[in-house]
Amino acid sequence: MTTSASVPTEPEGAIAADRTITDRLVDANGQYAAAFTDPGMDARPVLHVAVVACMDARLDLHAALGLELGDCHTIRNAGGVVTDDVIRSLTISQRALGTRSVVLIHHTGCGLESLTEEFRHDLEMEVGQRPAWAVEAFRDVEQDVRQSMQRVRTSPFLVHTDDVRGFVFDVTTGLLREIDPA
């Protein structure tokens, strides 16, 4: 398993107050690029699938699903919720880049289960401007997966809605549990 420990750090004992995490990431990219060879792929996913999932750092989607570079399109956001922007990305994925299947992955212990739309109100009070987006908080992860499947299946912009499946990833076991859309 790859963790943040694999990102290059300063030499033992060295303290660089002017270094940021972004500097560490850029350094890691330099090492990656030094050994990089063009895989000769285009943007069309080999497996013709788009995966929509939560941005939670505990989800290593490629490892969990046995995917390799180039196999799928991965669309991530807070909660893995199917928002207008997810529909936008799925529409481009299907209509311009050939995907035909959609896999939705939510997970146990999601941070959106502990938020409410009050979060937007608090944010508006703090910054003086109402966010244009909804929090999309939920209490029942299975019901939220069903709602996301329904949003994909009923979108007029998507041409392939017959292979849309939803799952809950258990962050303690690594197992997927399929959710019945009914």
Check if the beta carbon of residue 172 is closer than 8 Å to that of residue 108: yes
Report the C-alpha gap between 122 and 22 in whole angstroms.
29
Number of H helices and number of E strands within the chain?
A: 5, 5
| Residue of 109, 102, 96 lying closest to 52 (CA atoms) | 102
Percent of the chain's residues with pLDDT above 90: 87
pTM for the model stands at 0.87
C-alpha distances out from residue 170 to 52, 60, 162, 166, 173, Å: 16, 12, 25, 13, 6
Backbone angles phi and psi of 101, in degrees to 5: -115, 150
pLDDT digits (tens, 9 = 90+) for 116-157: 989 999 999 999 999 999 999 999 999 999 999 999 999 999
Q: What angle do CA 151, 153, 154 make, to 5 degrees?
A: 65
pLDDT of residue 10: 57
pLDDT digits (tens, 9 = 90+) for 154-182: 999 999 999 999 999 999 999 999 999 87
